[in-house]
Amino acid sequence: MKYEGYLIDLDGTMYKGKEEIADAVEFVKKLEREGIPYLFITNNSASTRQQVTDKLLKFGVPATPEHVFTSSMATAEYMKQDQQGNRVYMIGEEGLRAPIEANGFEIVDNDADYVVMGIDRSLTYQKLERACLEMRNGARFLSTNKDVAFPTDRGLVPGNGALTSVVAVSTGIDPTFIGKPEPIIMDLAMTKMGLPKEKVLMVGDNYLTDILAGMRAGIDTLLVYTGVTTSVEDIPPKDRPTHTIDSLHLWDIQL
């Protein structure tokens, strides 16, 4: 079938760290020429959508902020639908703060309705302490993603999921995770795209995040072997992606 919209992962799919994946760049250019809508879906909670856009543009990817949907943006939109209150105690960086405030929430130090966690490279014991106290006072616990590690030029370093676990273990309260592989971010992205699920394809390199997210949301998936997952041999046949491919230059958008 011909898909009418694409949800596309970033790291490992569009680029690897500071290096572009040329075939992926050409693939997106082809989507743009054909007028096929696409949305980049990322668990990155630290960067603003403009920062993500700037990185894509540096690689020659046709992108605007409207093409970017981060786990931080999804978290803010989830809270807006949840409507438990507008006071947020936040552990995170500017990429999380910006969408929270843009959606009308107030960042506070106490009496919070929500405790929201994203990656915070200035994390302190005092921040963790405050989060735990706010949750014990009734604040709802949200986390942008459960990634326990993420790649850097130096190697894998602790991710937001690892930091979130400290608060979860201390309080005995499990968070609601928003990012991949949970379906929440996918459902919100589908709403933005405005297309039925059967007309959209999720493209990614990581079976445990990108592909599972698509499957859990009821979306067809395309696993591309340019990043984390390079074989489906260890995946049970009933749980395999809809499609697999070595490189995006081999994918025919007219299918």
List, in order, residues 6 or more apart from 233 with CB less than 8 Å away.
Answer: none
Structure tokens at 153: 């030029």
pLDDT digits (tens, 9 = 90+) for 211-252: 999 999 999 999 999 988 888 887 888 889 999 999 999 998
- Has residue 255 got a pLDDT over 70? no
Q: Which domains does the chain have, with CATH numbers?
A: 5-43+180-250 (3.40.50.1000), 84-177 (3.40.50.1000)
Helix and strand tally (H, E) in the chain? Answer: 8, 15
In DSSP terms, 148 is beta-bridged to none
> What pLDDT shows up at residue 157?
86
- Has residue 155 got a pLDDT over 90? no
Share of the chain above pLDDT 90, in %: 85
- Mean pLDDT for the stretch of residues 164-169: 97
pTM of this prediction? 0.93
Query: What strand order describes the sheet that includes 5-8?
Result: 68-70, 38-42, 5-8, 200-204, 220-224, 243-245
Identify the sign of the CA torsion 3, 32, 77, 133. positive
175, 162, 183, 185: which is closest to 72 by C-alpha?
Answer: 185
pLDDT digits (tens, 9 = 90+) for 21-55: 999 999 999 999 999 999 999 999 999 999 999 99
With b meaning 16 or more CB within 10 Å and e meaning fewer, what string describes 132-158?
Answer: bebbeeebbbbbbbbbeebeeeeeeee
55/255 Cα distance (integer angstroms): 30
Count CB atoms within 10 A of the CB of residue 50.
13
65, 62, 61, 66: which is closest to 53 by C-alpha?
Answer: 65
pLDDT digits (tens, 9 = 90+) for 13-28: 999 888 899 999 999 9
216, 215, 217: which is closest to 242 by C-alpha?
Answer: 215
Identify the sign of the CA torsion 45, 143, 130, 112. positive
40, 32, 160, 155: which is closest to 96 by C-alpha?
Answer: 160
With b meaning 16 or more CB within 10 Å and e meaning fewer, what string describes 62-96?
Answer: ebeeebbbbbbbbbbbbbeeeeebbbbbbbbbebb
Q: Are 89 and 131 in contact (CB under 8 A)?
A: yes
